[in-house]
Structure 1
Amino acid sequence: MKKENPFTITFGKQPNKLIARYEDTDRIISTFNADNAVSQTFLIEGIRGSGKTVLMTTVAKKLEEEKDWIVINLNPTMDLLSNFAIRLNSECNSKPELLSKGFNISAAGFGIGVNGEKVDTDYVGIIEKIFKELSKKKKRVLITIDEVVHDDNMRVFASQFQIFIRQDYPVFLIMTGLRENIDLIQNDPSLTFLLRSPKIVTGPLSILQITRQYKEIFEIEGDKANELANITKGYAFAFQALGVAYWNHSDGKLEDALSEFDELLDDFVYKKIWTSLTSKERDIVKTIGVDEVSTGDICKKLSMNNGTFAKYRDKLIYKGVMESTRYGYVSLALPHFYEVVKYF
């Protein structure tokens, strides 16, 4: 076994060991690489820790390896439009072959120079000038924005991005975010074009792939690896967290690894998820407990009618906390969620 733990619980970092979402990755890349792309945007949504950033990063790295792509990663807490202009300018200046001879840019000074003549312009003007140059070289630009929120900054940027698309510029966009934040952005009256954007929901990872990775990394029997994989329920962060914990306690008891597993889930994810739930939603979660339970039993224990419960059920499923695999029954979708939140 390797001395260095191959798993990571650092959000935003590409794990050394990850479960590839081949279908989703191929779908985005093939769409963006098409001669006439049916969409120039993709939205990736899901609960915290579901692998949204990893999927976007995987796509960005694969496209960055192709000679015709430029990848610009933006911070949603900064002014998106000006930040994009500055980063695009910096990327092009670092690769002189991207622009025509004599073409130089000074984004900080709002200046564009062609053959020694400087013309003052704004950030949008700078971006458009660069796009025109890149179009001549058949280059494409991918913008990635992680954990977007619905605010004026995003509204201005997305509105301008729509204009770039109308002008047939070679620019593409991937955004990740919590489901509620993505929905707010899509339903903004000024950003209705995003309603037509393909959306990917980061659901559970393949238990088969998790089993195979655990078996190989920990050098254990298939049944034991499958037992560990099923504990994660396919939840992306749980795959990493249980990997970290089991690596640290591989020579000890599974109970010790599960104890650390619960602590990692608590510290990194579950506290935030729990605080996002209403008081009644929390009551329902604690009533469900560890195993699958009938909706009738929940209603009886909480003195709630079926119609009222149905509304809360839909909200909890929407938030990625609850699942219903058969009629009349529900269970918690997140691994060890009850084991952690029962102490809250």
Structure 2
Amino acid sequence: MNVRIDPFTLTPGVAGKPYIDCGIADEIITNFKSSESSKYVYKITGLRGSGKSVEYGKVLQALEKDKNWLVYPLAAEGSGVTALISYLSQEDFINEQKTETSVKTNATAEGGIPIISGKGSIEITKTYAENNNFYDKEAVLASMIAKANKKNLNVLVMIDDISRTDSTVELLSILGTMFNRGKRVYLVVSGLSKNIEEFFTTSRNNPSNQAISKSLSFFRRGDTREVKPLDKFDIANNYEKYLGVDAAEAKKLYDMTLGYAYAYQVLGSLYFNKKETETLEDLIPDYERTLFKSYNLDWPELTDKEQEFIRSFYKGKTGKAKDTKANMSNPDTYNMYRDRLIEKHFFSANQRGYLEARLPRFDRFIEIWCND
């Protein structure tokens, strides 16, 4: 029995053979490795399922293979500074010798961090643990990065699906001081636009929040790259190549995806595994079911007014501003919510006065599952 291997994948962050290059990862890698570039921070944004993690992963894998780079992917919900110090402590150059691993710390002392390295490092760790007056995470991290740089090593910190937590704010604030001091430390994050924007949200009633926002100005100014819809010709060409369909059928398949990366993979996988007696129309129920599970995460995160705008857009049917406004309770707010939802990647605005939906069959999801 011959088993056919499905080239399409639904695993987040995995490209698979039919990967369509959008150029973001290549741009980041090229700039980071160029001596003429002054770019140190990149934020990769886009919808859920747009391919952010794939571009993130491509950067990670490419630079991990480069002997001049130390690459540390950190968990978005982890203790970033402590984890980064622990990762760096495992590098041989930190104490310049290879010895058997042993850890001694004072568990009752605040701030004691296990440094997994040689005995020399362990004695330093013990000193920090027993006398907290001489211990500071920022100073330790700065010293480690300086040592890496002296060895001609660049340090890349990466966080996938980033969101604002006390830990990520602390890490980014400390990294900001590294940039100011000219250290060769780099940062790549991926995430939803709204989650990244939360790092810069200030409150007049919270002075500490305003101070945090100012300390992260380097992060705000860092380059942002949005993962946009995949090229229609690339999608059609890959469907022809991997599914063995003709150009007309490939075009029909593309039309069902709207260039949305997750939809491209889902539909490709369903078509690859369909029975000979099944048609494209037969795949629609499973296609919608899979997409709707993802949409069910997006919809509750929208405000009531944003949800009303999206409903008005689909009721208008044409995408023209005048037809959307005709279904809004307050047409004067059209521009505000249009801009918000473009920023959140639900729409594209390639023509003046006209919006295009970016999520395939999202109208069906709203009609079936979000009917008030």
Which residue of structure 2 lines up, in the alignment, with residue 7 of structure 1?
A: 8
Work out the CA distance in 2 between the residues paired with 1:89 and 1:248: 48
- Partners of 1:198 and 1:302 in 2: CA distance: 35
Deviations 1:137-180 (A, max 9, x none): 21112111011112221111001111222333332110111111
Letter in 2 for 1:148: I
Cα distance, 1:100–1:333 mapped onto 2, change above 3 Å:
same
Deviation at 1:108, TM superposition (A): 4.6
Cα distance change of structure 1 residues 249 and 289 upon mapping to structure 2, 3 Å threshold: farther
Q: Please, which moves more after superposition, 225-234 or 152-161?
A: 225-234
- Following TM superposition, the consecutive aligned residue runs of length 4 or more in structure 1 with deviations greater than 6 angstroms are 114-117
1:162 and 1:183 map into 2 onto residues whose CA distance is 17
Distance 1:157-1:299 versus aligned 2 partners, 3 A rule: same
Superposed, which structure 2 residues align to 1:165-184 within 5 Å?
165-184=179-198
Whole-Å Cα distance in 1 between the matches of residues 37 and 156 of structure 2? Answer: 13
Contact 1:103–1:115 under 8 Å retained in 2: no
Corresponding position: 1:118 with 2:123: yes
Residue from 183, 189, 204 that aligns with 2:229: 204
1:209-232, CA deviations, whole angstroms, 9 ceiling, x for partnerless residues? 111211111011122112212321
Please say which of residues 49-58 and 99-108 is displaced more in the overlay: 99-108
Q: Deviations over 1:265-304 (max 9, x none)?
A: 111x211111122233323323333843332233233343
Matched, 1:276 2:301: yes
Q: TM-score, normalised by structure 2?
A: 0.81
Q: Deviation per CA, 1:175-195: give whole Å up to 9, x if none.
A: 111111212224522211112
Tell me how many residue pairs correspond in the alignment. 336
Question: In the TM superposition, what is the alpha-carbon distance from 1:343 to its structure 2 partner?
Answer: 0.6
Structure 2 gap ranges (5+):
104-111, 129-134, 202-212
How big is the shift at 1:10?
A: 2.4
Alignment of 1:127-146 (within 5 A): 127-146=141-160
CA-based RMSD of the aligned residues comes to 2.7
TM-score w.r.t. the length of structure 1 is: 0.87
- Whether 1:55 and 2:81 are equivalent positions in the alignment is no
Q: Distance in 1 between matches of 2:295 and 2:255?
A: 19
1:194 to 219, 228, 236: 219
CA-to-aligned-CA distance 1:65-116 (integer Å, 9 cap, x gap) = 22211211100111110011122333x2xxx4x5674377869535876868
Question: Where does residue 88 of structure 1 map in the other structure?
Answer: 88
| Alignment partners' CA distance in 2, 1:27 and 1:258 | 36
Instruction: Confirm whether residue 219 of structure 1 aligns to residue 244 of structure 2.
Output: yes
- Which amino acid in the other structure matches residue 3 of structure 1? R
Verify the 8 A CA contact 1:70 1:142 in the aligned structure 2: yes
Alpha carbons 1:42, 1:175 under 8 Å: kept: yes
Q: Is the 8 A contact 2:13 2:51 kept in 1?
A: no
**Higher mean C-alpha displacement, 151-160 vs 11-20:** 11-20
Letter in 2 for 1:265: L
CA contact (8 A) 2:116 2:122 kept: no
Q: Is the 8 A contact 2:95 2:121 kept in 1?
A: no
Deviations 1:229-276 (A, max 9, x none): 232111111111111222232621111222211111111x21111112
Question: Which residue of structure 1 aligns with residue 334 of structure 2?
Answer: 309
- How far 1:5 moved relative to its partner? 1.7
Higher strand fraction: Structure 1 or Structure 2?
A: 1
Q: Percent identity?
A: 25
Any unmatched runs of 5+ in structure 1?
none
Query: Which amino acid in structure 2 is aligned with residue 64 of structure 1?
Result: E
Partners of 2:233 and 2:122 in 1: how far apart?
61
Alignment check: 8 A CA contact 2:70 2:154 kept: yes
**Structure 1: distance between partners of 2:225 and 2:231:** 16
Aligned to 1:76: 76
For residue 97 of structure 2, the aligned residue among 98, 102, 111 is 102
Determine which of 274, 281, 299 is the counterpart of 2:325.
Answer: 299
